[in-house]
């Protein structure tokens, strides 16, 4: 049995994932714009619902591709004399995977978690800015939020310069200049060695490129400080 047509279709489905990822990135930027512009919280909540819808689409697509791949592997392994009903086999596996879905799956989606973290940081920054310009509001905001802006470190632990394109390590939470950390990682890869987090005192000993995500909220804070 030739699976060339199936392989081609799978490749097309995987391309669809890139569109979903792009949609989630746009939704995140729009939500940050809304928070930064002090828009109504309902608008921000709408973007959160959009993120969950994208996460559900991504999960469904992953399950469908997995069902196809498992069906193909099964047929290759069993080598039946007659061609089975591929459509029904895939449908059965897909239905079984979908039956295990839960809302908590979507809450753990990597891009959704990133979305929530970035919103949290942006809200802190905006409240700190509000503090600086509204002395009467100081008592209404928690002290830890009030000092967030002054505690923020915009300096890369590698270059010791203010960051332009900060990326955050999902594992240890530290931030670096994108070009600097990537150069470090690739240099260690060529030497077949692991890279310890450059932040002094951090115990994380295996920094990977896949662990890095752009820190849009921090970048906006840096840009805002420059403008001021």
- Is this structure's pTM higher than 0.85? no
In the structure, what pLDDT confidence band is assigned to residue 138 with cuts at 50, 70 and 90? Answer: very low
pLDDT per position as a tens digit, 63-110:
999 999 999 888 888 888 787 888 899 999 999 999 999 988 899 999
Quick check: 17 and 61 in contact, CB under 8 A? yes
Distance (Å, whole) CA 4 – CA 8:
6
Residue the block writes with tokens 């310890």: 196
């Amino acid at each position: 049995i030739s699976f060339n047509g199936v392989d081609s279709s799978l490749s097309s489905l995987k391309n669809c994932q890139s569109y979903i990822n792009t949609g989630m990135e746009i939704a995140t930027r729009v939500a940050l714009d809304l928070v930064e512009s002090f828009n109504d919280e309902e608008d921000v909540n709408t973007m959160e619902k959009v993120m969950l819808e994208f996460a559900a689409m991504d999960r469904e697509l992953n399950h469908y591709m997995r069902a196809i791949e498992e069906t193909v592997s099964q047929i290759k392994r069993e080598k039946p004399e007659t061609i089975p009903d591929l459509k029904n086999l895939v449908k059965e596996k897909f239905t079984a995977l979908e039956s295990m879905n839960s809302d908590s799956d979507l809450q753990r989606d990597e891009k959704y978690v990133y979305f929530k973290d970035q919103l949290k940081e942006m809200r802190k920054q905006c409240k700190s800015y509000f503090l600086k310009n509204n002395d009467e509001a100081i008592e209404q905001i928690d002290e830890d939020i009030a000092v967030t802006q002054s505690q923020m470190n915009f300096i890369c632990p590698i270059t010791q310069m203010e960051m332009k394109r900060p990326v955050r390590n999902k594992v240890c939470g530290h931030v670096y200049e994108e070009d600097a950390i990537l150069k470090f990682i690739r240099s260690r890869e060529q030497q077949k060695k692991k890279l310890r987090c450059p932040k002094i005192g951090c115990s994380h000993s295996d920094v990977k490129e896949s662990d890095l995500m752009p820190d849009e909220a921090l970048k906006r804070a840096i840009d805002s400080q420059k403008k001021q």
